[in-house]
Structure 1
Amino acid sequence: MGANWVPPWADPFLARADIMAAMADHVRRSRDSGTPARMYVHGLEGLGVSCLVTQFAKSHRDLIDGPLIWLNGRRPDGTAVPLGELLTRALRQFGIEATDQAATEAEKADTYRTICAGKRFILVLDDMDTQGQVFGLVPDDAPGAIVVATSALRRRGLESEGFEPFSPEALPQDAALTLFQVGLGNTEIDAASTAELVDLCGGFPLLIKVLAAQIRGRSARAPHLLQRLRKSRLALLEFDNAQRMTRFLDATYDDLADDQACAYRTLGMLPAATFSASAAAAVLHWDLDAAFAVLEALVELNLLTVDDAERYAFHPVIRDDARSRAEAVLDATARRRLIADWTSWYLRETLPRGAALSNRWWVRPVTDLSARFGGEYTRQDASAWFEIEFANIAAAIRAAHGNALPATAWPLCVAFWKYLHLHGLHDTWIETHTDGLAAARADHSDAGIMQLTSQLGAGYLAVGRFAEAHSCFTESHTAALRLGHRLGEQSALEWIGKTLARQGDSIEALDYFRRSQTVAAEIPQPQRDRALALLCLQRSRTYLDLADFDTARTEARSAQTYFDRFDNETDNRAKARFVIARALIANDDPQEALPVLREALELFGRDHARRETADTHRLIGRTLTATGQYAEAAENYRTALDYYTLVGNPLAASTAAALADLPDR
C-alpha cells in the first residue's frame, strides 16, 4: 500500500490465484443480485496487498469490463485525503477535468453518482483511512461497479456494510523460492543456503526482494547474511510479523555504504509521496550526480522504487524503517533543519512556476523572494510541474507550519493558490491556506495576513461558505488599511461585494463595488485600469440580477473595451460579451444578441473553457428558438447536452427537454 496515485505492480506476481478466484466469485454473486461488488483486502505492509488488487484487475479484465480507478486514502505524512479530493480525482479519471467539476463535496458526489450510473469499472481506495471515505465512493446506481478498499488492519465496520473481506497469506515456499531466484538474476548460491534464506523471509514478498537484491551480483555475501540472520533467528521468531520485518531490515541497513545509509535515513524523513533527484540533492546537500548515483543504488537494493518519470518513492514499511533510523540519530534541531531545507527547496521551485500561472498581485516579501530565486516557465510547463508536485507542495506547507517555519509556509501558499484555483481543488485549497494563514499570524506579517485571508476567502466563497468568506475578506481589508496597501484594500472590498452578490444582496454588493472603485482610482497604473474594468464586469452581473438590463449592458461594454486591448484576457473578453448578450435577450433583442454570443463562443473555445462554451451553446439555442431558427437551435442544444451529459451536469435534463420541445424541423 502506498501514497502514489498509480497502481503498484509486481513482476513476477506469484501464488495468489485462489484468493483472486474468490474475489471474482464475489463480483459475480454481487452482479447476480444487482448490487455493486464491495470488497476490502487487508494484510500487513510488505505482504503484497496492493499488488494483489492490481493483479486482480489485470487478470479479470473481461469480468471487470471497464476502467481501473486508483485512489489513495492517506498521504505520506499519515493525514487522510478528504473525500472531496478523492471525488475530484475519481472524476478526473472518468475524463472530467477539475475545471469542469462542481465546487462543493456534495455537488461532486452528485456528479459522481450521475457519471457512475450504469457503468462498469473497478475503483480502488488504497490504504484507506476512514470508513467514510469508502462509503462515499460506493455508487448507488452502478450494479456493475466494483469498489475495493485496502487496509493494513481488519475493518469489521466495512463488513457490516456488505464489504467482503479478503486477506492474502504469506507466499508458499515454492513461490517464495521462485521470487528469490528471479531477484538473484544470474547470481548462483547453493540450494541449501537459498532455501534457508527464503525461509527466514517468512513468505513476505518485500523481504524476499530486498534480501535477493543484496546478494545479486555478489554471491560471496550470501554466507555472511545467512550467518547474521541465523544469529537473530530466535529473536525474529519472538516478534510478530510487523516487528519481524523491521528487525529483518537491520541486515540490509547495516551493509549500506555511509552515503547510502545517510540518504536512506534523510529521505525517509520527508513527507513526500515521490521525489526527484533534484529534491534529494537539495536536502542531502550533494551535487545532482552524487545524489542520482546513490538513489539508483538504493533502487538496486529494492529500498526505493523509480518510475518512468524518474520519480523515486519508498514502500511505506521501508519509509517507516528509514524514518525510525533517522529519528534515532537526529535530534529535534537537526530534524527541523532537514524539513527547513526541503520546504525551502519547494518554495524556490514553486514561486516562479506560480508566477507563470497567475498575473495576480503578490505582496512583499513574496515578490522579493520571487525576484531573488528567478526562473521563467511557460504556463504549460508550470502546470505540468504542479500536477506532479501537487501533493508534495501541500505536504511542504503542512510540514513548514508544523515545524515553526512560518516564513516558508505562508509564501508557499501564495504561490500555490492559482493552481488550486484553476483546478478546483477546494479541500486542499482551504486546508493549506488555513495553515498558511496561521503561519502568517505567527510570522507577525500583516502582508501575509492580507494576502492569505483574501485567498482563503476565495476558497470559502467557491464552496458557498459565505460567512467564513465574508470574515476572511473583512480581515483582509483591515490588514490592508493597517498597511496602507491600496490594491489590497480595493481587492478586499471587491471580494466582499462578490460575496454579497452571491448571497443575493445586490444593493449592498453594489455599494461595496462603489467603495472599491473609489479606492481603485488611487491605485498606480497599470493595476488601476484593470481593477476598474473588473469592477465594471462585477457590476454588470449584479445589474442583471436586478433586472436593470440597460445598465448591465453599459457596464459590460466598458469592461469589454478594456479587455479587448489584451491577448491574455480571453476569458474576461468572453465573459463581458456573455453579459451583454444576456442583457440584449432580456430586452427582447435576440437578433442583436446572436453575433455577440457567437463572439463569446469563439473566445471561450479559444480559452478551452468547456463549461462556459456549453453554457453559451445553450443560450444560443434559446436565442435561435426565439427567432424561429429551429435547426440551428437544435445543433447548439445537442452540443451543450453532450457536454452536460459527459460531466454529469444537472443542466442536462432541462437542455434535453428544450431540445425535445422544439417544433418539427
Structure 2
Amino acid sequence: MAGGGSESGAGAPSVRNDLSGVVNGPAFQVGQIHGGVTFQVREEPRAPGVRPDQVPSFSGRFRNRRTETGRLNELLDERRDEGASPRPVVLRALPGMGKTALACHWARSVGDAFPDGQIFVDFARLRDGLGADVSEALAMCLRALGVADAYMPHTLAERANELRSRTAGKRLLILLDDVQQPAHVRALLPRDAGSLLLVTSNQDMEELALDGAELLALEPLDAEVGVQLLSDFSGRPVPEGERDAAVRLVELGAGMPVALRVLGARLRRNRRLTWGALAAELEDENQRLAGLSDGRGNSVSVVLATAYRELAPEQAHAYRVLGWLPTRTFDGGTAAAALGTNAEEALGLLDALTRAGLLNVTEEGRYGFHDLVRLHARERAEAEEPEGARRVLVERVTTHFLALTAFADRAIRADRLRIARLTELLDASVDPFTGPSAPPPLAWLVAERDTVLAVLREANRAGLHAWVWPLAEAFTALFLHRRDVRAWRETLLLGADSAAEAGEVAAEARLRSLLSRPLLDLDEDERARTELERAERCAELSGHTVLRASVAEFFGRYWDRHEPPRAIDAYRRSLTLNEEAGEERGAAIAAFFLGCAQDAAGEHLAAQATLERAHAELLALDDLRMAARAEAAIGAVHGHLGDDALAVAVLRRAADALRAAEAGHYEAETLVRLARLVERTGGDQATVREYVARAAGLWEETGHPEAGRLARWRDRLDGGGVNG
C-alpha cells in the first residue's frame, strides 16, 4: 500500500498500489498492528476553583528516611512563618536511591498543609523536546491552575510571569521530578512563601544554594533499613542464621531501593533460594555498569545481571526489546506491537517482567522501567539483538501509533483534508474509537501526547520519513483543538522535513501550510511566510486543487496580520479553487474568512452577502460550530452598518448557538460584543451585566488573559458603575 496520495478531495494525484515495484511511501504491513488502546488518564482541572491533586500515590511500605522527612517537616513549619521568602527544596541522590518515592510519600502525607493543591511535573518525560522542557513544564503547571491551551502564554518569560501571578496568595506544593538544570527550578518558583517547590535531581544543584535553596542529599540505605526493605520486597522474614547474608545483599545492591526490589523479587519467586546462596551468586558476578557503583565495588548492575540470567529466553528478549522503546511508559498494545506478538502473549511477558522486579506498573495501569533498569536492558539489547532489530522495533511501534492516531483523527472530524492514503492499513486494523465503551478520541490524543511525540522523534532519527509525515499529519488533530503551539511546531517541522526527504510534495505543502499556524502564534511571522511560500510551490507541483485552496486560505491568515487587502485576494482564490474542486466545506470556510476580511476592510455590504452565504452553506453541511461563528460575524456587520437592533438580535442567536455547540471561547467573544452594543445604545444595564457575567465566567474557566478585565467590568456593574 502506498503512503502518498490523497485520501479525499478532487484533483488528487493517483498513486499506484503495487508492492512489486517502487513504492511511493511506506508499505504499512498490517501484521504489525497489535493490541489496542489502554485508556485511563487523570482529568485535568477545568477551572481555577478545582484543586489539583497530581502527586502520584506511593505504593508499598515506606522505610526510614527519618532524617530527611524530619528536615522536610521543619522546612514546612518555617514556610508558615510570616515574611519567609519562597525557596526550593532539592532532594539530590544517585539514580535508584528513592528520591521520587520519598518526595511523593512526604507530599501525600502533608496534603492538608497545601489547601490549594499539589502539582506534579515529570521532567524526564519532557527532555526529548527541542530545548522546550521548562516551557512545557510551566504550561503543565498553568493547566493545573485552570489555564486552557487557547489562552496559554507562548513565551517562557510570559509563562513564568503567569505562574507567579496565579500562585500569588496560594498555598501550593509543586513537585518537580528528575530536574537536570538549576535554571529550570528558578523558572518554576512560586510567588509566595505559602507555597513550596520540591525538587528531585541526580545532578549537582549547588548553585541553587546561592538562591537560598535547601539541598538534602539522600545516602544509600543503611544495613538495618535495607534488610527491612529487602524483607518487605521478598515477603520473607530473614532467618536468624542468614542475617549476615542479608546485610551483604544490601551492600552488594549498593543500598539502592531499586536494586533491593529486584533482589526481593528473586527471593519471592524462588522460595528455595536462600539469602546466602543469592549473596554468593552476586559475589561471583563480574559484569558491572560503569558509573553505577557505590565506589566500594558494589553495583546495581550485579543485581540486574543476575536477575536477567533468571529470565526465560522469550522473557529476556522482551526485556531487551522493550528497553529500546522511546517512551517512558507504555501499555500492553504498544508492547505487543514492539514484540510483534498478540496482546495476550505480550501481557504474559509483561507480567513475568513485573514479577521479576524489572518492570513497574503505574497507577494508570501502564508499564515502565526505572532509568537504571532501562539502561541495562538497552545495553543487553545492543549486545545480543541482531543488527537492524532496533529499526524493526521503531517501524512496528510507529506503524501501531500511526493507525491509532489516524483512527482518532478521523473520529474527531471525518471530512478534514488529508494527504496520507491509509485505507489498507486502517481496513486491516480495529478502530478502538467506535462503540459505547470507546475512549473519547481527543482525550486519548491528549493522554498520549508525549508518547506520540517520542515516537515521531525516534522514527525521524531512524530515517523512517515515509512513516513520520503521515503520523505528523494525523497527530495535528490534537493541536487543532488544543493549542499546544510548541509541540505542534515540533510535530509539523518533523513531518514537513520528512515529507521533503520522502519526495512527497503534496504532504510537504500540507504540513508546511499547517506549520504557519503555530509559527504565527509564536510571533515567528517571517518564518511563517517562508513556510507558506514553500508550501505554495509544493502545492502547485502536486496538482492537488483542494490542497492549493487550503494553502491559499492559510496565506490569507498571514496577510490578515500584515496586508489585509492581500488577505481578501487570498481568500477569494481559496474560495474559487474549492468551488472548482467541488469541495463544499472548504468553500464555505473560505467564504467565512473572506467575509470577515471584507468587514475588517470596511466593505460591510459585501461582507454581509459573503457571510450569509457561508452561514447557509455551513448549516447545510451540519457544521453547527462554524455556522454559529458565521452568524456572530453577521451580527457584527449589522452593527457596523448602524442597524443596532438587528445586530443585537443576530448576536443573541449566535451566542445561543455557540453555547449549544460548546464553543465557549467564541460564545464569550460574542457576549462581550453584545454587552458593549447594548451599553452603547443605552440598553438595560441588567442585560449588560448578564452578558458580562456569563462571558467572564467562561473566560475564567479557561484562564483567558482578559478574564480579569471582564470580572472588573462585572463588579463595576454590580456597584452601579459603567465599563471604563
- What TM-score results when the alignment is normalised by the length of structure 2? 0.84
Match of 1:547 in 2: 602
Aligned to 1:183: 233
In structure 1, what is the equivalent of residue 17 of structure 2? none
Q: Are residues 1:230 and 2:283 paired?
A: yes
Question: Which residue of 2 is the match for residue 255 of structure 1?
Answer: 310
Task: Give the stretch that moved more between structures: 191-200 or 438-447.
Answer: 191-200
Question: Which residue is 2:447 aligned to?
Answer: 388
Correspondence for 1:16: 65
Contact 1:354 1:418 in 2 (8 A): yes
2: distance between equivalents of 1:76 and 1:130? Answer: 13
**Structure 2: segments with no counterpart, 5+ residues:** 1-41, 43-53
Matches within 5 A, 1:514-663: 514-523=572-581, 525=582, 527=583, 529-567=584-622, 569-625=623-679, 626-662=681-717
Q: d(CA) in 1 for partners of 2:529 and 2:383?
A: 47
**How far apart are the structure 2 equivalents of 1:122 and 1:444?**
50
Kindly tell me: are residues 235 and 518 of structure 1, through their superposed partners in 2, closer, same or farther at Cα, counting changes over 3 Å?
closer
Quickly say closer, same or farther: Cα 1:234–1:325, change in 2 above 3 A. closer
Which deviates more, 653-662 or 380-389? 653-662
Equivalent-residue separation in structure 1 for 2:326 and 2:492 (angstroms): 18
Q: What CA deviation, in whole Å up to 9, does each residue of 1:19-40 have, x standing for no partner?
A: 1232233344345334323122
Preserved contact between residue 571 and residue 607 of structure 1 (Cα < 8 Å) = yes
Aligned CA distance change for structure 1 residues 396 and 237 (closer, same or farther; 3 Å)? closer
Q: 1:607 to 1:89 in 2, by over 3 A?
A: farther
Indicate conservation of the 8 Å contact 1:123/1:147, yes or no: yes
2:416 alignment partner AA:
R
1: distance between equivalents of 2:671 and 2:160?
A: 26
1:425 paired residue among 481, 484, 488:
484
Secondary structure of the residue that 1:271 maps to in structure 2?
coil
1:216-240 deviation line (CA, Å, top 9, x unaligned): 1422123432211233499899973
CA contact (8 A) 2:100 2:177 kept: yes
Q: Equivalents in 2 of 1:421, 1:161: separation in Å?
A: 40
How high is the sequence identity, in percent, across the aligned residues? 26
Distance in 2, matches of 1:540 and 1:105, equals: 35
Please state how far the C-alpha of 1:650 moved relative to its aligned partner: 3.1
Segment of structure 1 superposing worse, 542-551 or 355-364: 542-551
Return the alpha-carbon distance in structure 1 between the equivalents of residues 133 and 292 of structure 2.
35
3-state DSSP class of the match of 1:47? Answer: coil
For 1:517 and 1:412, the matched residues in 2 are separated by 28
Q: Which residue of 2 aligns with 1:284?
A: 339
572-581 or 260-269, larger mean C-alpha shift: 572-581
SS at match of 1:124: strand
8 Å CA contact 2:631–2:651 kept in 1: the answer is yes
What is aligned with 2:29? none
> Is 350-359 or 362-371 further displaced after alignment?
362-371
For the residue of structure 2 that corresponds to 1:600, the secondary structure is helix
- Give the letter aligned to residue 529 of structure 2: H
> Aligned partner of 1:447: which letter?
A
Alpha-carbon distance in 1 for matches of 2:432, 2:290: 57
C-alpha displacement of 1:552:
2.7
The match for 1:94 among 126, 138, 145 is 145
Distance 1:381 1:177 in 2: 47
Distance 1:194 1:101 in 2: 53
Q: Give the secondary structure class of the aligned counterpart of 2:357.
A: coil
Provide the residue aligned with 1:508 in structure 2: 566
User: 5 Å matches for 1:79-228?
Assistant: 79=129, 82-103=133-154, 105-139=156-190, 141-186=191-236, 189=239, 190-192=241-243, 193-222=245-274, 223-228=276-281
What is the CA distance between 1:598 and its match in structure 2?
2.3
1:173 partner amino acid: A
Q: Give TM-score scaled by structure 1 length.
A: 0.92
When structure 1 is superposed on structure 2, of 152-161 and 245-254 the one drifting more is: 152-161
Closer/same/farther in 2, CA of residues 75 and 18 from structure 1, 3 Å limit: same
Closer, same or farther: CA 164–217 of 1 in aligned 2, 3 Å: same
Residue 452 (structure 1) aligned with residue 511 (structure 2):
yes
How many correspondences in the alignment?
Answer: 656
1:312 counterpart residue number: 367
After superposition, give the CA deviation of every residue in 1:235-271 in whole Å (9 maximum; x if it has no partner). Answer: 8999733981123311111111111111111100111
* The 10-residue stretch of structure 1 (335-344 or 68-77) with the greater mean CA deviation from structure 2: 68-77
Deviation string, structure 1 residues 625-654 (Cα, Å, up to 9, x no partner): 234211121122122223434544332343
Q: d(CA) in 2 for partners of 1:95 and 1:202? A: 43
The superposition leaves residues 490-512 of structure 1 with CA deviations (integer Å, 9 ceiling, x where unpaired) of 11111111111023x21111122
- Going from structure 1 to structure 2, the CA distance change for 1:6 and 1:565 (only over 3 Å counts) comes to farther
Query: Contact 1:590–1:627 at 8 Å: present in 2 too?
Result: no
Contact (CA 8 Å) 1:188, 1:219: kept in 2 or not? no
SS in structure 2 at match of 1:71: strand
> Aligned partners of 2:522, 2:685: CA distance in 1, in Å?
37
Quote the offset at 1:374 in angstroms.
6.4
| Higher RCO, Cα 8 Å, sep 6+ | 2
User: How much is the aligned-residue C-alpha RMSD, in angstroms?
Assistant: 2.8
Match of 2:417 in 1: 361
Deviation at 1:370, TM superposition (A): 4.4
Q: 1:390 to 1:649 in 2, by over 3 A?
A: closer
Aligned match of 1:59: 109
**1:71 and 1:578, CA in 2 relative to 1: closer, same or farther beyond 3 A?**
same
Contact 2:468-2:495 within 8 A present in 1 as well: yes
Contact 1:201–1:207 (CA under 8 A) maintained in structure 2: yes
Greater share of residues in helix: 1
Structure 2 distance, partners of 1:405, 1:17, is 51
Deviation at 1:400, TM superposition (A): 0.9
Counterpart of 2:255, as a letter, is: G
CA distance, structure 1, for counterparts of residue 606 and residue 209 of structure 2: 61
**Contact 2:466–2:499 at 8 Å: present in 1 too?**
yes
For structure 1, list consecutive stretches of 5 or more residues without a partner in the other structure.
Answer: none
**Which residue identity does 1:357 align to in structure 2?**
I
CA distance in 2, matches of 1:645, 1:99: 12
How far, CA to CA, are the matches of 1:657 and 1:93 in structure 2?
Answer: 24
Q: CA deviation at 1:330?
A: 2.8
Are positions 1:266 and 2:321 aligned together?
Answer: yes
- Partner of 1:7 in structure 2? 56
Separation (CA, whole Å) in 2 of partners of 1:215 and 1:18: 29
- CA deviation after TM superposition for structure 1 residue 288, in Å: 1.9
> Is residue 431 of structure 2 the alignment partner of residue 375 of structure 1?
yes
CA shift in 2, pair 1:7/1:186, >3 Å:
same
Counterpart contact for 1:100–1:610, Cα < 8 Å: no
Amino acid at match of 2:672: R
Task: Tell me the equivalent position of 2:556.
Answer: 497
Please, which of 400, 405, 408 is the counterpart of residue 350 of structure 1? 405
